[in-house]
Chain A
């Protein structure tokens, strides 16, 4: 299985943990993720104004490059996934923007939204398959009570993202079950963590995080798992500043658990050893 891979800037820096564990697991599962050659930052937020095309262009370049190789474009960061998928949707549905973007980029071939953007979780679900994944698990996370946190970017707006049932998703829980863990269901799993508000309004975010953490705790969670560097930061750092004081619920990237269950943790990979 071969896919184009778009890492994004955060995975190359603060969220290196997310990338490393994901790539390790991919290799173990026999998935080839070919990093795109000249990727640029996706812009981190999808431009909501119907006006301009400039903020799209870097996304469109990556999408077009993936189309040239004929591969699906895989992302691991929820924000990159969100931006690329929405940019692609615009290219597919808005003729005006599509024409402008094509004119501007002067690509060898016109790009009209032909690439399929998928998230690493979808890769596991639809390409590998959770039953297959379950069979490949070496150290099942039996008995671990883990709460999945979806946040916003994977799910919303539902009509465009079409990632899962936006109000009642199950992909992360199914993933946890495949790893042998017990998924904790709690009502805050699709709420917003506060995103970049933490840059300016830490108190607001701390309060939002508190609700999420408390809900997970009160439903018996022993850890929380997410798929987004920003959620990760907010959940991890700001739970220390919650009004009630310092709750300490461990926060993992979903790929960290994958790595653990596939028994890749602490193992120096052969490739890296060379």
Chain B
């Protein structure tokens, strides 16, 4: 006979106010197999736990049930209690009489009856608990960082500084991300390149960091501590080792296309580095626009390269590497404005997105830092800035606040006025959101020192009118419809998740929210972890963020990754599925339902009546199995069982409740 103990917790008044503790304790004491039942105000406290421990010894308990809060809260606490008293930790069951009972009911009588039923179920399950043992899995001491913006760079540097190898994979030819495109940064107005380039250089020269630029992650298998990734290094057509970055090739190249880095405001060559401070400072050939690859003539770059670095025959390289942890830092995109025709964006060259405006402000940008109207290269006198374009817009855009545009619009006003003190800036806003250290002060400077006219309201439409832009809007505070003759209109365009984020999520087995931002494991308490163990999130790929926030989150993600990488071994959860081969018919229905690809087929040999027969059965890879239990319900003969949650246990619980 089993010797089961039941410990009922009051949770202060949380449970005790709605559940009659004494009645529950008494009823528990009479359940089959129960040899002891007691209660206490806070079972999870030191005192509560020592009460459990002494009862185990005194009453010779061989398993026990705690009737308390959700197992998510304290299952691990009570498992440790069991271990401390010499019991196998998997001989503990929790009956959740708080979230599932006292918190959701008002009637004390009914709540008490339900608490008793829940405990009866837990007791029935506990009676069938078996000892389980966690196994050890070794950890690969290397991290993979996907995305080489400021978030990815920071995470890579932190992990590398802790002494671990890091591979940093960036899709474009250079690391740097959006921050490299910015001119100056709020709220201090330091030049973006000046603070970013040293970090890029550091990442490139760090002995523990390997950069894979112009590369992509194609496949990820495995699990926490033991991921296996396939990385495709796209052919650069230029030898990274030989190239000196002299620039002769891109000077001579005759093929010109729009520069992605300059937001299509300037032209680049087919062989190019995206921007002067690019890391690595080695060009790539964009084969789609190169004459050699499209028309099989030219070859000028190869002829002129003094180092002989141009190599048209270079092929994509595919690498397979193992990692213990993965940091995702793939950043954001800017919303497409096709549905917002009223702003005349794309119709008139002087209507720009804020990111385009950054490029025009930037000294490495298309105008060499001279702020001029794209239409006629003249200095603008009146500039209208429109905030919340596509943000907070559930009809045509994104319902969320993009968070950074109030601040960067104030920055744009200041930078514009620094260049043209006599000019006028107008800013249409719905609300000003400047929560952040020194942020509100920065915004007020734009208003008070730089004389920007902030207009609470919206711009209805931008009418190109000769060489001017007529902006019709409203100042809702005064109740006046306004018309402003502007030379330039700058749209603070919403930022959104990268369009391929859902694909990457699928590849990594992590989830995205309704807007395709990667989802954190808990919005408050686990903001840098993905749902899948061993994968961490940094920067704007998880939600709109400015640089300080991106960097903080990146360091947080790095710290989590370091914790993981510094372990020699991980304990695996023993609550995984197992196949009873004698019952398995080999239908393999379980393989189809397993979301973690943890089940494979194998062939076994059996002797039946002295004859050796071969038979196909399912096999669970315990390292991959996450214990979700999908396979157990798919198996018709009931051959798959989840350890700790066997079919027999579940049925016993159901019976106990239905009693």
List the interface of chain A (C-beta within 8 A of B).
Answer: 159, 165-168, 185, 187-188, 190, 215, 218
Contact = CB atoms under 8 A, between A and B. Distances in A.
A33 to B, nearest CB: 32
Contact of A167 (B339, B395, B465, B466): B339
* Interface of chain A, main secondary structure: loop
Nearest to B338: A165
Given A168-B341, A187-B461, 6 more contacts: A159-B395, A165-B338, A167-B342, A187-B344, A187-B462, A187-B463
Q: 10 shortest A-B CB distances, which residue pairs?
A: A167-B341, A168-B341, A187-B463, A167-B342, A187-B464, A165-B341, A167-B340, A187-B344, A165-B338, A167-B339
B463 A188 contact: yes
Contacts of A218: 466
B297 interface: no
B347 interface: yes
22 contacts: A159-B395, A165-B338, A165-B339, A165-B341, A166-B341, A167-B339, A167-B341, A167-B342, A168-B338, A168-B341, A168-B347, A185-B347, A187-B344, A187-B461, A187-B462, A187-B463, A187-B464, A187-B465, A188-B463, A190-B341, A215-B463, A218-B466
A150 B548 CA distance: 47
Contacts of B339: 165, 167
B190 to A, nearest CB: 38
Interface string B301-339: 000000000000000000000000000000000000011
A20 to B, nearest CB: 34
Contacts of B338: 165, 168
Contacts of A187: 344, 461-465
A240 to B, nearest CB: 24
A168 B347 CA distance: 10
A222 B576 CA distance: 78
Contacts of A190: 341
A159 B65 CA distance: 57
Nearest to B343: A167
Contacts of B461: 187
Interface string B22-59: 00000000000000000000000000000000000000
Contacts of B465: 187
A188 B347 CA distance: 13
Contacts of B347: 168, 185
Interface residues of B, number: 14
A167 B462 CA distance: 11
Interface string B378-403: 00000000000000000100000000
Contacts of A165: 338-339, 341
A167 B395 CA distance: 14
Contacts of A188: 463
B97 to A, nearest CB: 42
Nearest to A215: B463
Nearest to B344: A187
A251 to B, nearest CB: 21
Nearest to B464: A187
Contacts of A168: 338, 341, 347
A187 B461 CA distance: 9
A168 B461 CA distance: 12
A105 B339 CA distance: 39
Interface in B449-479: 461-466
Nearest to B470: A187
A183 B338 CA distance: 21
Contacts of B340: 167
A220 to B, nearest CB: 12
Nearest to B465: A187
Contacts of A166: 341
Contacts of A167: 339-342
B259 to A, nearest CB: 25
A188 B466 CA distance: 14
A167 B346 CA distance: 12
Among A166, A167, A188, the most chain B Cβ lie within 10 Å of the Cβ of: A167
A64 to B, nearest CB: 31
Interface string B432-444: 0000000000000
Nearest to A165: B341
Among B340, B461, B466, the most chain A Cβ lie within 10 Å of the Cβ of: B461
A218 B463 CA distance: 13
B344 to A, nearest CB: 7
Nearest to A191: B461
A172 B338 CA distance: 18
A188 B465 CA distance: 11
Nearest to A187: B463
B296 to A, nearest CB: 33
A122 to B, nearest CB: 19
A58 to B, nearest CB: 30
B94 to A, nearest CB: 45
Contacts of B341: 165-168, 190
B310 to A, nearest CB: 43
Contacts of B344: 187
Contacts of B462: 187
Among B340, B464, B466, the most chain A Cβ lie within 10 Å of the Cβ of: B464
A137 B462 CA distance: 36
A89 B466 CA distance: 41
A101 B48 CA distance: 67
Contacts of A215: 463
Contacts of A159: 395
A165 B340 CA distance: 9
A185 B461 CA distance: 16
A163 B275 CA distance: 42
Contacts of B466: 218
B181 to A, nearest CB: 27
Contacts of B463: 187-188, 215
A218 B395 CA distance: 34
A187 B348 CA distance: 11
A135 B463 CA distance: 35
B471 to A, nearest CB: 11
A165 to B, nearest CB: 6
A190 to B, nearest CB: 8
A76 to B, nearest CB: 25
Interface in B338-379: 338-342, 344, 347
A151 to B, nearest CB: 15
Contacts of B342: 167
Nearest to B348: A187
Interface in B519-577: none
A160 to B, nearest CB: 12
A167 B465 CA distance: 17
